[in-house]
Amino acid sequence: MPPFVDHMPVTYTLAATATLYAQLFDEQTTAAQFASTTDGGAEAALLYYGANVATSFSTTSAAQSVGDLFTFTIPSSTVNAATTTQYYIVVNDRLNNTKYVCNNPNATATSTCGASPFSFTRLTAASTTRSVSGTIRANGAGL
């Protein structure tokens, strides 16, 4: 059984460095084992990122934040106001079961995720104004 990965895709970031979050759960692998890069195990959590991950990418390892919550950091040299950054996550457990997390929920390989990555854009200060409209309701009645 592959690891379970809970990740809410990012569409925008205001920061020059992007920090992405994922919760990692697995029957065979503890959070501490996912966090360790020196224990010699098969377990790993990697984020693949770049301008076009189908043709070229960099990777970064997950860092344990608290419990099963992990962070991935994409450096400011990649997160550029003029471009969209693509990414996907690949997690292996101790038994080498692999979970691919991207816009294709049935992905079974990095090539599949490379063709269907998540993506986000860095917003500049001038582009951060947003409008929201609608009706607020409580128990079906407008307020």
Instruction: Tokens 């919760």: give the residue.
Output: 23
Are the C-beta atoms of 74 and 18 separated by less than 8 Å? yes
Per-residue model confidence as pLDDT tens digits over 15-41 = 788 999 999 999 989 998 888 877 777
CA distances from residue 86 to 9, 57, 58, 95, 125 in whole angstroms, order as listed: 11, 9, 11, 28, 21
CA distance 102 to 68: 20
Per-residue model confidence as pLDDT tens digits over 2-12 = 999 999 998 88
Q: What is the mean pLDDT of the chain?
A: 88
Average pLDDT over residues 83-108: 94
pTM score of the predicted model: 0.83
Closest listed residue to residue 48, CA positions, set 14, 72, 83: 72
